[in-house]
Structure 1
Amino acid sequence: MQTYDPVEIARALIRCPSVTPADEGALDVLQKALTALGFRCTRLPFEDIDNLYAEIGEGAPHFCFAGHTDVVPPGDADEWTSPPFDAAVKDGKLWGRGASDMKGAIAAFAAAAASALSAGKVKGKLSFLITGDEEAKGVNGTVKMLQWLRDEGVTIDHCLVGEPSNPDAMGDMIKVGRRGSINCWLTVTGKQGHVAYPHRARNPIPALLRKLLHLSETPLDEGYERFQPSSLQVTDIHIGNPAHNVIPGKASARFNIRFNPNWTGETIQDWLKDQLDPIAKEIGATYKLDCVVSGEAFLTTDMKFLELLSECIEEKTGRKPEYSTSGGTSDARFIKDYAPVAEFGLVGATMHQVDEHVDVADVTLLAEIYEAIIERYFETFGK
């Protein structure tokens, strides 16, 4: 059975400038490697996004690795020590956009799968769920792939996402949940008028500021198991008034709430309305609130699965990883509706930055950790 060098696979992936929604051959690189191992590969294009599902083996248990080949833009390439898509290896590090987030992890799992298959350790089904739409809207990738799997009658028993979960060193952290996220746009409507005759107008700006101050200073909760308190952060105030002598007719603001499992997107919106309605009535201001939930909060509680991951990681790194829910959102927010899910990958200190890089030794170490996890998984959950 074929074996792979995870660093060389990672370099081949990084050389594909797959800034969302472009693929630029990244999925072809992975598909070629997996096909050579005997994986059954299916490309799943949805609108402008291409995705890949690959599986090997039959029956249960079904262990899935999920990830994304799309990357964020590199910014000014002249600011990089090495060109962002050259995949240079120097000073013991692998440089390039996607090295950390998360082409290095995809390569590591492919190499781990090759070794586990060669050793006959896959006693069930092993799969890859790889999207090209994680760094952007997230609507034509994992969400639709999971729906396709359900329609095909494919059940995932457990899933590991290869996001760069470690803050500083390999073995630091496993992500066992994520906060939910809701983006809101608040618009207050007044009455336009001349600044010299304010009694003939109704200025919406003080009303908007009063509402924002109230929302910002009112705690949502005191936290939740393994979660920090929910947080509302104002991200933009927009008036769009080009004249100095005109009271505007509308004033708007945008804010984001990262919330823990005390809430759902729906109950957050109910809370916002309960906070805003009394103020609007008191000051006679008309407002409109538009909200989009980009992900619900979740916490994985399958301790048998989490302890398996933790034990394998500690054996290979000497560190007992922290169970954490910190950070932003990931595609785990969709997968949690289908299977218990956790996240473990490379060190994320430079993800999305100029000169993104990872230690070459860490890529190799991650492949070893993943191979141990695959072996232990089928020993633990196999029939």
Structure 2
Amino acid sequence: MSLEKLGWNTYFQKKFEPYLDKGFWAARVINQHKGNYIVCSEEGSFNGKLSGKFMYNADVKKDYPAVGDWVAIKMVNDTEAVIYAVLPRKSYFARKLAISGGRKMKNGILVGGNIEEQIIGSNIDTAFIVSGLDDNFNIGRIERYITLVRSSGVTPVILLNKCDLCNNVSDYIEKIDVIAKGIAVYSISVLNNINMDIFDKFLCCNETIVFLGSSGVGKSTVINYLLGGEILKTNTISSSNGKGRHTTTGSQLLQHSSGCTIIDTPGIRELQLWADEDILSESFQDIYSLTDQCRYRDCAHEKEDGCAIKTALEDGKLTIERFNSYKSQLNELKTLKDTRKCYDNSRKNKLNKINKKRGYVEC
């Protein structure tokens, strides 16, 4: 398979130049499970293992290959290859790693434990945020996906799946338009082939698209339709709790006949934010435009006179749900910033102690 059909372009060609004369091959990670990888190159697909030097130099989980990454490899035999480096990512979708050990819930935000970034997929051009027009629909969850996608530098598109089960699709689209101005929104139905032609403009050679959403929204069903067969396993909604069952257990990259690559992702139930506070000015443009109209620059939007937010809430131009979602994300990102700073300082101190034992002196 040609590298171009895997998404190779001039950006990655330039990043690969240091490896050209050293016997390396360029390959893309199409599957990953713990320390095992499947990579695809012009020579075919291989089981990939990390080199010892790579693992020694890797500091955090973000340093390790993720699905969609381009890597520098050397073949061991017809079925195995060693991964020596990850090329710089053009973009990637990530969340705060679901952590365990020492964590607790404080004011609705998970705190404690190791603070790290988990990459779900990389080198993406378009991210489809999928929501079902059934019991799965959740405005707050869509708002969180929008923040994460915009933070990743990827173009977001919202898909309202299973529109055949809904009698008031236009009402849902209006709700989305309030929170996602400027983002394309499409209602589709795979089973009844409604509006499925909207994908034609996204399925282009060299492009990489990803499908995001919770379990049961129909991501795998949509991808199966696009690929023209039952490539991915699908499940129905649980009758006991109305929630989707996990079908996809890990991200994987699939090839479309157009030359477009598609990344399928597992359903994410614990969608913890990983972004900078500044990104909220994009996700909540409506609220930021109102805060600029407040009488006081440090307005807390509570009891101050001349507060544009209070006026908008009273006039019905802004819903309390939208404002609470903004405050929730803002508080979470502020907490993340402070926690990351403490964690980074703690990790730096530990590394300094290790280096001193090894005889290294910090410059």
User: What's the TM-score once normalised by structure 1's chain length?
Assistant: 0.25
Please give the TM-score of this superposition, normalised by the length of structure 2.
0.26
Which gives a bigger RCO, structure 1 or 2 (Cα 8 Å, sep 6+)?
Answer: 1
